[in-house]
Amino acid sequence: MGLTSAVIILLITVVFLLSALYLEWFRPTVTFFISILVLVLANIISPEEALSGFANEQLAVIVVLLIISDMFRKSSVIEVLFNRLFGRSNTVSSFKLMMMSVVAGLSAFFNNTPLVAMMMPYVNSWSKKQGVAASKLLIPLSYAAILGGCITLIGTSTNLIVNGLAVEAGFTALSIFDFTAVGLPMLVIGIVYLMFLGGRLLPDSRESEVDVFMSDRQYFVEAIIKKGSRLIGTSAKHAGFRNLEGLYLVEIVRNERNIYPIPPDFVLEEDDALIFAGETTAVEEIKRQNLGLTLPKMVDHMAMDKTSVNEIVVSFNSSLIGKKVKETDFRARFDAAIVAIHRNGENLSGKIGDIMLKAGDVLLVFSGSDFLSRTKTNQAFYILTHTESPSPVNVYKVGAVFLSLIIAIIASAITAFPLLIALSCVLLLGLFLKIMPLSEVRKGLDFDLILLIAFGLAFGKAMINSGASIYLAEGISTLNHWLNPLLFLMFIFLITNVLAAYITNKAAVAILFPISVAIASELGLNPVPFILIVSFGAAANFITPIGYQTNLMVYGPGSYSFKDFMRIGWPLTLIYMIVSAFVLTKMYSL
């Protein structure tokens, strides 16, 4: 197929999509919407095709699974399970093995994001009690969730998106366990790798602190010189800041002017904003020294009430992203005030209220009595520290729903009973048993994820309609003189994986799925392994913290760097590429 105007427009749109997602010009949903709108205006897809993704059965399956996962999360049954299982672990190896095994097993059937969110407080508290750096455990936690999600069709939304694209393209729907032949052995290999070789590569955050800092996370805290402070008129050198334990003055803000580096003879004045870097106890240390410093007004007011201190992580699709702290209306929404911010790999500057939040930021917050009740249905952040005991759970009711879920999965796997209907019956049982009120169903839905999937399905349709997938496949298939089917599968896996790691797995799947099946058609091969390899390439995402939501969740709390994910993730990615390509080649006799 030649380079037609439709192909040119589509390729330009692909370049825009990838650039906008990588450079974060807009939110991902807005970027996809703009791309789809351009394709509709260019008559590459019709308005009906652009909206058809919302009627896709796999999207409905994802929605039902999200609600069921949320139901189990709010019942606190998984927290109770974690308490019982991990209470006996007293060594790093035993805890890590148990943690990865349980999380991976559950991730095969539940949304792995809430699983990781619920497990992180346990990892954080356990590591502190045992005197172990959390960085030794958090990447294994995220990777175990990813490995487990690749075992079944319903383990990750990526698999369901690929299945939806396959059905849209006229192929037979994949079964629940079509992924298991690759996913299960890779789970075992992955756990062994993380227990031994990967474990040696994991950083110890206690050994990599900057200068005088001796904390797991370096926060940026703002304090104001109040009227009557003994600091007024003194120089920065003689102000006594060196007596502050675990704190270091990094910047001064005066009349909207940032002063950095700070001259030793710089004279302090009333209302100067002092920006300190330090550990989680920074706020208590500022107050204990009685230097005449006060926290910003809203935070100081919270500190006078009966409050608790919590660490939270901004989620990958949070409504807080792109907003300045002072614009979030955080106290009114969540009965809490943001005290300090930690962000890996980036120096923060200016007043705390003027800092624009990003996904993965760890926030130290003063929280009031309503904080927990207001955040139970929130998706803007995940709570890193435990501040309450698990709610009472009716084990029999939750057990009945869990058993019905297993039966539904098996029934849809061995019979013609539709998975959507089976899962809907499980959801209905959960609502009937009042595990979660009907009013809570909508609050637990991730609408950004739903929009991204629907737009991704539409984009995949545009790749086919425009002929771009065939055009690119014809070019790639000319390599058949040098590449056999095994190497073609490895090539597709690698391209998909790199795109997913640096952009999003939804964009990677939307672009590579049509190309992959077109390559199979050009080579006259069975398309199923070419469909599956795209899914594995997009879902098995280990090499960057931004490529998968669970990686991003542990990035800040673990004080990791991009290099940590590269160093630990690349060997695992290459192993996954070789194993998945080899197994699929043998299974489908390519």
Strand partners, 314: 381
| Confidence at residue 282, expressed as pLDDT on a 0 to 100 scale | 62
Q: Cα–Cα distance between 397 and 158 in angstroms, integer?
A: 30
- What is the DSSP secondary structure assignment for residue 280, as one 8-state letter? T
**Residues 559-563: what's their mean pLDDT?**
86
| Confidence at residue 386, expressed as pLDDT on a 0 to 100 scale | 55
| Confidence at residue 178, expressed as pLDDT on a 0 to 100 scale | 94
DSSP annotation string for 453-512: HHHHHHHHHHHHHHTHHHHHHHHHHGGGGT--HHHHHHHHHHHHHHHHHHS-HHHHHHHH
**In the predicted model, is pLDDT for residue 76 greater than 70?**
no
Q: Cα–Cα distance between 387 and 350 in angstroms, integer?
A: 30
The dihedral of CA 379, 384, 388, 389: what is its sign?
positive
pLDDT in tens, 394-413: 777 888 888 898 899 888 88
CA 556 to chain centre: 11
* Secondary structure of 262-273 as H, E, C letters: CCCCCECCCCCE
Q: Cα–Cα distance between 201 and 197 in angstroms, integer?
A: 7
Q: Cα–Cα distance between 281 and 241 in angstroms, integer?
A: 15
pLDDT in tens, 484-534: 899 999 999 999 999 999 888 888 999 999 999 999 998 899 999 999 999
Domain spans in the chain, listed from the N-terminal domain onward: 219-383
**Residues 280-299, buried b or exposed e (16+ Cβ, 10 A)?**
bbbbebbeeeebbbbbbebb
Does 219-383 carry CATH code 3.90.79.10?
no
* Secondary structure of 499-536 as H, E, C letters: HHHHCCHHHHHHHHHHHHHHHHHHHCCCHHHHHHHHHH
Q: Which of 281-290, 373-382, 580-589 has the highest mean pLDDT?
A: 580-589
**In the predicted model, is pLDDT for residue 544 greater than 50?**
yes
Q: Cα–Cα distance between 163 and 410 in angstroms, integer?
A: 18
| Confidence at residue 214, expressed as pLDDT on a 0 to 100 scale | 32
Residue written as token pair 């992180």: 120
13 or 308: which carries more pLDDT confidence? 13
**Residues 210-220: what's their mean pLDDT?**
50
| Confidence at residue 37, expressed as pLDDT on a 0 to 100 scale | 94
Asked whether the bond before 114 is cis by omega within 30 degrees of 0, the reply is no
| Confidence at residue 109, expressed as pLDDT on a 0 to 100 scale | 87
Share of the chain above pLDDT 90, in %: 28
